[in-house]
């Protein structure tokens, strides 16, 4: 796992931001009419806001399941966890291009397993994105032995899922573990009996929003 000071602007975006600013400066001072540079500065501003990665206050206790991503709740439903083959409650967070795309650990615990599956790039707001899109899944085990599956799902525009942890790594709530570029989704498969603290349609923030309480 890679450790580094909190970057404020996600390091995954540094090359994109640098290129966008360099191009905007080139157009601004390259002799073209000044108005021509405006679209390039708007692109640089979009890249800056997309890759922002602000530090967050961690609420609750070890029983709290925190949101792994910024976005909107698009599903809360009983399902069969396709990774652990058990009955579970799925909570899905959809991220649009204006959300922070850094992914954070929902619990204190250990990474038990990690799976990657290639797939399609459907709109991540659709239910079938959970099973048909490219995705990276983590089996997490809490300090008291509860199992959670946390799945990064690519979206219509997202073409790059980044995950920096491996089996055996220890995570704490709110710890940054991955990133998805340009619109996507994160699915959580929780044990039956959790106490849900959010509703469909609610806007949530990574780390600071408590999605559920473990039994």
Q: Which residues partner with 102 through β-bridges?
A: 179
DSSP-derived 3-state class of residue 160: coil
Q: What is the pLDDT of residues 94-109, one digit of tens each?
A: 988 888 888 999 999 9
**Best-predicted range by mean pLDDT (25-34, 44-53, 68-77):** 68-77
What are the phi and psi torsion angles at 37 (to 5°)? -80, -15
DSSP-derived 3-state class of residue 36: helix
**Best-predicted range by mean pLDDT (12-16, 40-44, 107-111):** 107-111
Active site residues: 184
Say if residue 40 is in the same domain as residue 76. Answer: no
Say if residue 77 is in the same domain as residue 170. Answer: yes
Give the confidence band of 51 by pLDDT, cuts at 50, 70, 90.
Answer: confident
Give the confidence band of 3 by pLDDT, cuts at 50, 70, 90.
Answer: very low
Among 8, 6, 155, 10, smallest CA distance to 93 is for 155
Q: Is 1 within the bounds of a domain?
A: no
Q: What is the pLDDT of residue 182?
A: 67
Q: Is 118 within the bounds of a domain?
A: yes
Q: What is the pLDDT of residue 13?
A: 78
Whether the predicted pLDDT of 126 surpasses 60: no
Going through 96-190 in order, the beta strands assigned E by DSSP cover: 102-104, 109-117, 135-142, 147-154, 161-163, 170-171, 176-180, 184-190
The count of domains in the chain is 2
Whether the predicted pLDDT of 198 surpasses 80: yes
* Integer Cα distance of 12 and 130 in angstroms: 24
Q: Which domain covers residue 75, as residue numbers?
A: 64-213
Whether the predicted pLDDT of 8 surpasses 90: no
Say if residue 134 is in the same domain as residue 165. Answer: yes
Q: What would the two tokens of residue 157 be?
A: 């525009």
CATH number of the domain that residue 92 is part of: 2.70.70.10
Q: What is the pLDDT of residue 4?
A: 47
Q: Is 59 within the bounds of a domain?
A: no
- Judged by average pLDDT, the poorest of 25-29, 120-124, 192-196 is 120-124
Q: What is the pLDDT of residues 140-169, one digit of tens each?
A: 999 999 999 999 987 665 557 889 999 999
Give the confidence band of 117 by pLDDT, cuts at 50, 70, 90.
Answer: confident
What mean pLDDT comes out for the span 48-54? 86
Q: Is 41 within the bounds of a domain?
A: yes
Sign of CA dihedral 136, 134, 99, 18: positive
- Judged by average pLDDT, the poorest of 39-43, 66-70, 82-86, 125-129 is 125-129
Rounded mean pLDDT of the chain?
Answer: 87
* Integer Cα distance of 152 and 122 in angstroms: 14
Whether the predicted pLDDT of 1 surpasses 50: no
């Amino acid at each position: 796992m890679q450790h580094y000071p909190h970057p404020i602007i996600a390091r995954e975006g540094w090359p994109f931001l640098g290129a966008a600013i360099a191009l905007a400066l080139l157009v601004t001072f390259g002799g073209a009419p000044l108005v021509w540079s405006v679209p390039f500065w708007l692109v640089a501003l979009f890249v800056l806001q997309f890759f922002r990665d602000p530090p967050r206050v961690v609420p609750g206790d070890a029983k709290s399941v925190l949101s792994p991503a910024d976005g909107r709740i698009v599903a809360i439903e009983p399902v069969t966890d396709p990774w652990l083959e058990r009955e579970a409650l799925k909570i899905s967070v959809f991220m649009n291009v204006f959300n922070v795309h850094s992914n954070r650990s929902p619990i204190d615990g250990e990474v038990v397993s990690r799976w990657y599956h290639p797939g399609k790039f459907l709109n991540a707001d659709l239910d079938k994105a959970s099973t048909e899109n490219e995705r990276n899944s983590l089996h997490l085990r809490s300090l008291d032995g509860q199992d959670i599956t946390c799945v990064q799902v690519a979206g219509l525009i997202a073409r790059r899922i980044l995950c920096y942890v491996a089996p055996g790594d220890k995570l704490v709530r709110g710890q940054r573990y991955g990133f998805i570029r340009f619109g996507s989704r994160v699915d959580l498969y929780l044990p039956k009996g959790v106490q849900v603290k959010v509703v469909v349609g609610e806007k949530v923030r990574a780390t600071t929003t408590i999605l559920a309480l473990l039994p």
